[in-house]
Amino acid sequence: MTLNSNAAHGEHSGFRGRSDVEWADPDFTVRVAGVDDLLRIQRENVEHERTRRWSSENALLRQVSSVAGVFLCPMLRNEAVGPEPESYRCWAWFVLGTDEGTQGVTLLDVGKDIFDALPELYSPTELRRVIKVTMARVMLGSRFENMW
């Protein structure tokens, strides 16, 4: 686990400590979110002024296909600061709602409580499917999406 300088020194001068989520960490999991989950994440992100979120609920609904699940994989842990709870900065892989079959990837902040409540992919079959879909998206040129 890697800590930024603020977290490593125990300083909390308004800056959030961050640590990498490594492959061997127990919280390195793949979760699946539906549109209702994303709306809940969006509302919490707006409430806590997290930076990696959609610009609006309408933008989210316009950009993300309502029929496909979004795969979330944590990249960083964000420490709690003041009233803002702990969260993860996740890779979010999804099917774009605007272009049939086009995939997108972006970074999304997800509160730890919400992340932990989302369904986790456990079985080797499910995880192979995610790896296959992710690799296919990379090979086909997934677009890194701004959250407009």
Residue 121 pLDDT: 84
Least confident segment among 49-58, 102-111, 130-139:
130-139
pTM listed for this prediction? 0.76
Q: Has residue 142 got a pLDDT over 70?
A: no
- Token pair recorded at residue 34: 């539906």
Q: Has residue 135 got a pLDDT over 80?
A: no
Which residues are within 8 A (CB) of 68 and not within 5 positions of it... i.e. 6 or more apart? 94, 95
**Structure confidence by residue, pLDDT tens digits, 34-63:** 999 999 999 999 999 898 999 999 989 888
Range with the largest mean pLDDT of 33-42, 60-69, 104-113, 117-126: 33-42
Residue 42 pLDDT: 96
**Structure confidence by residue, pLDDT tens digits, 61-99:** 888 877 777 889 999 999 988 788 899 999 888 877 765
Q: Name the strand (E) or helix (H) holding 120.
A: none
DSSP at 102: -
Which residues are within 8 A (CB) of 14 and not within 5 positions of it... i.e. 6 or more apart? 81
Rg of the chain over all Cα atoms, to the nearest angstrom: 16
